[in-house]
Structure 1
């Protein structure tokens, strides 16, 4: 090969083994040309090393192309098992959001979210979590996903002459809507959905513009009972 392609480099024993593995993993030449060949060789090597399922491999390839992930970001997403978490959040989007907004919103949310980058101890408070997320906003936005624009922490709203403060407020570029995030360090409780419904309604009334889609609320808890969460959300339509 070196004689046939004297201008090319990279024919080490290690790379030759990866080339063979690549050929075995992607026997469809059209698939290679239209997808896999569009990402860097180093990205392909990381995917071959760590992802064994073909469908999952192609998902990471497509996400890398779509979002322009660097190699380090790709490795982080694989190690955090993004493929298994994406689109798994308990929501009521099928009843509260129009199509295709509801389907796209569902695909963007995860369960669980991982905040290992915070390095918080065992006995931290909600205030500690909020401050740590703001201090690590770049990592937090990476975990949330592409399209989230940060608007503020403890975002002030005045409703009925009283002051209220949203933990975190974002605007999503692809969904074209505000996203309210409420942080809890406890297991999900039914009353959390009522509070979130209030925040979503207030943002829709006070901030939402005619071209914006309906506001989305996200409650990030330590854990949840799926049945309780579904019951809490089943009759909320705003």
Structure 2
């Protein structure tokens, strides 16, 4: 008689299922990439041969029409052999004559991306730059077209900053490269009489487009983010956490020309964020001041003696985001699925803030810095929720998220559930003590 199969433990089964799902996704992706690579190399070789024969034999453009007709007759099931596409193949081979480069770089991009690179860009250096960026950031074809039209290569890394002096290498170089000037908010339709609140509200209503413009790695934490300093209230326009830089980024919006006092205010905000939100292993927080305009000399003077890392950039507002691009932007749900780190980072910040509010009235000495230390202090004071020890397990996962490390779907889900319940207990405790 066959022995009954025991039911797997929920935790072990969930972990196995998540691992197998990830392995299947990875294998499917590799298969798709391999097929795409072979197709791109085929198209490049066809284009190279057409180009070489036309040059050597003096054939005109009509040879392409003849080739297309003959190829489609012999391969009726194969798409992509039209006269127009054969001409793209020839242009593609002419634009990228180095076979090794094609194999290593542009073969990673779909054919439509390569056609756009050849069509829209005449400068070889710019083509290479956009090809690398499209691969690194996973741009769709429409997003690639938008970035080319907005001249991203001329804006990337051009903001005036003091990063070289206030941040250690290589973080200073990475931070400089991430910040643009000007920023293109062409998805906003705001008149010249807009207010700062209208600008902020417009950016939040188009949060997905804003994150696309800011770049890879920006995790949205909150708007009008509240900080209390010496019993006074202060509010940050926009607060982000950057998963690669592993630091908070404060964004202040101004609808006027840059003024020196903006740098002083940002310096204050960064000090407060570093004291109240920054984890002990986080890098120093960074400030970005976005203005309607700026005088470079005034900006340079204002940033020269600042001890906090910050940059100043302009922004441009125009009509609206092209309709095709809107359909290419990921939804909020897709962001959550693709980047579980983002929600965990935000949840971790909310937990730490709630704990600090809970212990403010019970502490006479200086407050501890890290969340782990703050949690120990809450337990020492005897005011910690019952689930504090369980939350410590989730905190390890949340710290990995805050540092941009890979997480399994199962670990992220479990940490989110534990932290959400712990946060609810903290708020209930604080409400009970203040009631």
Query: Could you state the TM-score of these two structures normalised by the residue count of structure 2?
Result: 0.54
Which 4+ residue blocks in structure 1 deviate beyond 2 angstroms? Answer: 3-9
Partner of 1:191: 261
Question: What root-mean-square deviation, in Å, do the aligned CA atoms of Structure 1 and Structure 2 show?
Answer: 1.2
Structure 1 residue ranges without an equivalent (≥5): none
SS class of match (2:249): strand
Residues 27 and 197 of structure 1: CA distance in aligned 2, closer, same or farther (over 3 Å): same
From 76, 97, 101, the equivalent of 2:171 is 101
Residues 72 and 83 of structure 1: CA distance in aligned 2, closer, same or farther (over 3 Å): same
Shift of 1:122: 2.0
Shift of 1:227: 0.7
Partner of 1:58: 128
Q: Distance in 1 between matches of 2:78 and 2:103?
A: 20
Shift of 1:77: 0.7
What do the CA deviations read for 1:38-96 (whole angstroms, capped 9, x no partner)? 10000011111111111110111111111111111111111111011000000000000
Q: Distance in 1 between matches of 2:299 and 2:72?
A: 64
Partner of 2:110: 40
Structure 2 residue ranges without an equivalent (≥5): 1-66, 309-435
Q: Distance in 1 between matches of 2:130 and 2:197?
A: 35
From 19, 30, 33, the equivalent of 2:89 is 19
Residues 199 and 5 of structure 1: CA distance in aligned 2, closer, same or farther (over 3 Å): farther
Residues 11 and 130 of structure 1: CA distance in aligned 2, closer, same or farther (over 3 Å): same
Shift of 1:32: 0.2
Partner of 1:209: 279
Q: Are 2:72 and 2:78, in contact at CA under 8 Å, matched by a contact in 1?
A: no
Partner of 1:115: 185
Q: Distance in 1 between matches of 2:192 and 2:161?
A: 29
Residues 35 and 143 of structure 1: CA distance in aligned 2, closer, same or farther (over 3 Å): same
Residues 17 and 171 of structure 1: CA distance in aligned 2, closer, same or farther (over 3 Å): same
Moved more, 115-124 or 188-197: 115-124
Partner of 1:146: 216
Partner of 2:194: 124
1:91 paired to 2:161: yes
Q: Distance in 2 between matches of 1:73 and 1:37?
A: 19
What do the CA deviations read for 1:130-169 (whole angstroms, capped 9, x no partner)? 1111111111111111110000000000111111000000
1:81 paired to 2:151: yes
SS class of match (1:174): coil
Residues 125 and 9 of structure 1: CA distance in aligned 2, closer, same or farther (over 3 Å): same
Partner of 2:98: 28
Q: Which structure shows the higher helix fraction?
A: 2
Moved more, 121-130 or 173-182: 121-130
Partner of 1:220: 290
Larger C-alpha radius of gyration, 1 or 2?
2
Shift of 1:191: 0.5
Partner of 2:251: 181
The number of residue pairs the alignment matches comes to 238
SS class of match (1:74): helix
SS class of match (1:117): coil
Shift of 1:5: 7.0
Shift of 1:3: 7.1
